[in-house]
Amino acid sequence: MRIGKLLRKLRGPRKLRYGPPIPPPEKQILILVDKRNKVKGYARRPVCHAGKGKMHRAFVAFIDTPRGIILQKRKHWLWNGYLDVSATSHCLRLGRRSESYYEAGQRCVRYELGLAPRFLANVGSYTYFAKHGKSCENEHCTVLIGYSEELPDPNPDCVYSLTYFTVEKLRLLNERKDITPWLRKALPIVLAAYGKR
């Protein structure tokens, strides 16, 4: 515990460890797309997740480390406490430009895990719709795989805990009920990328 606190102190304030500030969720502008990922417009994040939602551009990231592939126990009002991908978010509309997947992926991984992966490879995509009470997820989701030689320093604002998985153990996750719907949809793509489908 003392070593962990010392490392956090050496790495500096949380706002530096987890990247520059981004707009709060209610002010974030998401990119509306069709099932082929063609841009259709823009809308605020709450609108995209209300009722039946509006399909928007999102991504999931799987970060491999010397200990294995990171999965997190998600801390969020949607699917709170579920086993989730390493990090996940949306490509944002920032002023007059849109984030690339690489830019958004690096931002998200740094914010949630305190890491800057050496690369983020686009290995596929899928669409899905999942209802959660009066809210939903309605996304065109791109799958990113990255690698970091450093171990994560998870942001306590969005992560309860982390677990490391081998590729072989990822294959067993479909048997579990406590995984997010986007993790379940991403698994075949990730396993195919690792040649373990």
pTM of the complete model beyond 0.95: no
pLDDT of res. 13: 47
Average pLDDT of span 100-112:
96
Instruction: Indicate the Cα dihedral angle 17, 73, 84, 72, nearest 10°.
Output: 40
Domains and CATH numbers, the chain: 2-193 (3.90.79.10)
Give percent above pLDDT 90 in the chain.
83
pLDDT of res. 37: 98
pLDDT of res. 81: 96
Tokens of 63: 């970060």
Are the CB atoms for 27 and 44 separated by under 8 Å? yes
Q: What is the DSSP letter of 179?
A: B
Higher pLDDT, 73 or 134: 73
In order of 132, 135, 163, the CA distances from 54 in angstroms are 14, 11, 32
Q: Is the pLDDT at 36 greater than 90, yes or no?
A: yes
pLDDT of res. 89: 97
CA distance 47 to 43: 7
Q: Across the strands, what pairs with 68? A: 65
Q: Is the pLDDT at 16 greater than 50, yes or no?
A: no
CA distance 12 to 176: 38
Q: What is the DSSP letter of 164?
A: E
Q: Is 123 exposed, middle or buried (0-12, 13-18, 19+ CB in 10 A)?
A: middle
* CA–centroid distance for 51 within its chain: 22
